[in-house]
Amino acid sequence: MFSLNTAVRNFSNIYGQLSREEIDFGQIIIDKKILQDNELIINYFFNLVTLNPQIHIGQPFNLIFASSKNRESLVGWPKGINIENYLYMASQNDEPILISKETFEIFSLRLGSEEPKKIASSLGDFIQTLSEIMTLSEKFFSKNINNDDYFILEDDEFIAEINAFFQLTKLNIEVKNFYGFFFE
């Protein structure tokens, strides 16, 4: 399990960089049970955001963090999934990212799927993975500035770097599920 304290610090450093113009600042509310002993560092991180309702991270993601109290994205879940076991945390292309209330593991729920798939063993591993992928993506932003038709997920060099990252990472993530959810 990657240290949540370190992951949040790393993410906030990348998140706050001026070169990441794709990021809109917002507010994230995480359930107190998930904060556990990490409440101070979580609050430090979340105080970096303004009063907007959500945070959007553009390239290479289409990730929107939102309040765990937001139940809008839970409408239409398959009846076999007990939504009371999860907290809504974010969405990627309108597909929810959830935290298990029991294990604190991170799950994704694809449209049409019958059950959530685990993508990370902890919030720390999830946030650190996002941080490292955002760091990898930085050098590709100049291509977008020079070419309106450029799309980072179609860049073979970027995809090769992402694949290398997933092969070498020591983070506790479900590589196949994480990659499939964010990059396929």
Band (2; pLDDT cuts 50, 70, 90): confident
Cα(first)–Cα(last) distance of the chain, in Å?
26
Helix (H) or strand (E) holding 57: strand 55-57
Judged by average pLDDT, the poorest of 63-67, 99-103, 174-178 is 63-67
CB-count exposure of residue 57 (10 Å: 0-12, 13-18, 19+): buried
Distance CA 159, CA 175 (A): 14
Distance CA 86, CA 89 (A): 9
The model's pTM:
0.75
Q: Where in the sequence is the domain holding 38, given as residue range(s)?
A: 4-183
DSSP-derived secondary structure for 63-131: EEE--TT--GGGTT--TTS-GGGEEEEEEETTEEEEEETTT--EEE--TT-SS-EEEESSHHHHHHHHH
Domain count, the chain: 1
pLDDT in tens, 47-96: 443 333 455 566 677 776 665 444 545 555 566 667 777 877 777 877 88
